[in-house]
Structure 1
Amino acid sequence: MWREDRVAALLDGAGAEPLLVSGAPSNLGVFLDRFQAVVLLSAPLDVLLARVTTRTTNDFGRSADDRSRIASDLVTVEPLLRRVATHELDTTRPLADVVDDLQSIVRALPA
């Protein structure tokens, strides 16, 4: 969960530059009307599992319980996120392409 007081303060203090926020907390709905875009970054389960088991910056995903949770969330949480997303980007593509698409989304937002 996001700390609502802190996220509200962050959003209240956002200036003219785009503010990109990452996460899918259970209380995301509290803030949905404050976002101009919601982008779902998606990938198939095998890709997600390969990524979390080989990364060196975070241990989440290495245990069987973690991998089970990821699989479960993909089935139960991702469809909910897809319903509120204004855009979906397939992250199996090269990172530069995903970043270019994300930048295009930001540029297309009203000032």
Structure 2
Amino acid sequence: MVRVLVTGMSGAGKSTLLEELARRGRLTVDTDYDGWELPGAVWDEARMSELLDRHGDVVVSGTVENQGRFYGRFEHVVLLSAPVGVLVERAATRTNNPYGHSAEQRAEIRQYVVDVEPLLRRGATVELDGRLPVGELADAIEKLR
């Protein structure tokens, strides 16, 4: 394995994919949790730099404004994508993250697909369909070199 960033819209399946990779014994960091994000939807840059300095074999997930500053530290930036209807439905019904439960948040997700996802696509080295079974997605990540 190598350093991989998995990014994408809310509801794309990033956390589920990381859970599967962790179950397989991979080092993973889901930056939606444990204080990785600072106010303003940005990563704690010192903490992220330290993580990447210490680990050459890690899968990180997140979608934040300053992630592009780290693209050169990852061998692959994987965009996990899905149709907007799938994203909204998943976000509205998930139990592991409250974001997407309100109508306002679902409207934000729809707008982010228009405004943010194209930027993520431009920075990605690989795009995977988040509707695929999680095992297939994990296999694809594990094959990256």
Identity within the alignment, %: 47
Indicate the residue corresponding to 1:10 in structure 2. 51
**What TM-score comes out, normalization by structure 1 length?**
0.89
* Higher CA-based Rg: 1
Query: Distance between the aligned counterparts of 2:46 and 2:132, measured in 1?
Result: 36
Query: Distance between the aligned counterparts of 2:97 and 2:64, measured in 1?
Result: 18
Runs of 5+ consecutive residues of structure 2 not aligned to the other structure: 1-41
Query: Distance between the aligned counterparts of 2:48 and 2:142, measured in 1?
Result: 23
The runs of at least 4 aligned residues of structure 1 exceeding 4 Å deviation read none
Q: Secondary structure at the match of 2:127?
A: strand
Query: Distance between the aligned counterparts of 1:58 and 1:35, measured in 2?
Result: 26
Q: Secondary structure at the match of 1:40?
A: strand
Comparing both structures, which one devotes a greater share of its residues to strand? 2
Indicate the residue corresponding to 2:106 in structure 1. 67
Query: Distance between the aligned counterparts of 2:53 and 2:133, measured in 1?
Result: 34
Q: Secondary structure at the match of 2:100?
A: coil
Q: How many residues align?
A: 104
Matched, 1:99 2:135: no
**What TM-score comes out, normalization by structure 2 length?**
0.69
Comparing both structures, which one devotes a greater share of its residues to helix? 1
TM-aligned CA deviation for residue 52 of structure 1? 1.0
Matched, 1:22 2:61: yes
Task: State the Cα deviation string for residues 41-94 of structure 1 (Å, max 9, x = none).
Answer: 000111111111111112110101100110011111110000010000001122
- Whichever residue aligns with residue 7 of structure 1, its letter is M
TM-aligned CA deviation for residue 37 of structure 1? 0.5
